[in-house]
Structure 1
Amino acid sequence: MATPADTSAQLVFAPNVLHNQALNSVKFLSSCFAGAVAGILGLENWLGFALFIASIISTSFIIYAVNCRGKPARYLPGGLGELINPGQDNIFTFILVWTLFYGIIHVYD
């Protein structure tokens, strides 16, 4: 007899879950790019974080529409919530790249 945990684990299609690594890489690269843009533009304080949030939302929408084909629950165990979640690593990556590019471009302002 299957337990509820076994039944819920069977609802996620294994090849789609393996595809999650590619989705995480896209979100990571999006955070790097957004950090570089924020640093080059010289954004400070909340404007930089607003750019990060806009980047996460737009990346999540593209992944939702193109890769997940409107059904994120088949690809991600957490569904839509997992897709929109930026992740701690992506936030730190954004801040690191943001400060790096800000320091390189605007060092003598």
Structure 2
Amino acid sequence: MSTPAEAAAQLIYPPNVQANSSLTAVKFLASCFAGAAAGILALENWAGFALFLFSTLFTSACIYTINCHGKPAKFIQGGLFELVNPGQDNAFTFVLVWTLFYGAL
């Protein structure tokens, strides 16, 4: 007999899970571009983080509609929560690129 967690893991289609690396790359690049935009626009404090939040939600909405066809649980193991979650790496990347472009200009 399988546990409920194993049964839930079997419902996820393996080719969709393999495509998650490209989704991760899209979210990473979106945070890089948002950081560059925040630095070029010379945003400070909460305005820059608001841009990051908007960028994360916009990217997640695009992935939700285009790639996941409205069913993120079929493609991503965490479902909608994992799709919207910016991730620690993306947040740090945003701040790094933001400060780089802000300081360069």
For normalisation by structure 2, the TM-score amounts to 0.98
Cα shift at 1:7: 0.7
Q: CA RMSD in A?
A: 0.6
Determine which structure has more spread, i.e. the larger CA radius of gyration: 1
Moved over 3 A (4+): none
Cα deviation code 1:47-90 (max 9, x no counterpart): 00000000000000000000001110000011100000000000
Cα shift at 1:6: 1.8
- Does residue 14 (structure 1) correspond to residue 14 (structure 2)? The answer is yes
Letter in 2 for 1:10: Q
Report how many residues are paired: 105
Aligned-partner Cα distance in 1 for 2:5–2:64: 26
Cα shift at 1:36: 0.1
Aligned runs of 1:1-109 on 2, under 5 Å? 1-105=1-105
Aligned-partner Cα distance in 1 for 2:89–2:23: 14
Aligned-partner Cα distance in 1 for 2:25–2:52: 16
For normalisation by structure 1, the TM-score amounts to 0.94
How much identity, in percent, do the aligned residues show?
Answer: 65
Cα shift at 1:3: 2.3
Cα deviation code 1:19-64 (max 9, x no counterpart): 1000000000000000000000000000000000000000000000
Letter in 2 for 1:91: A
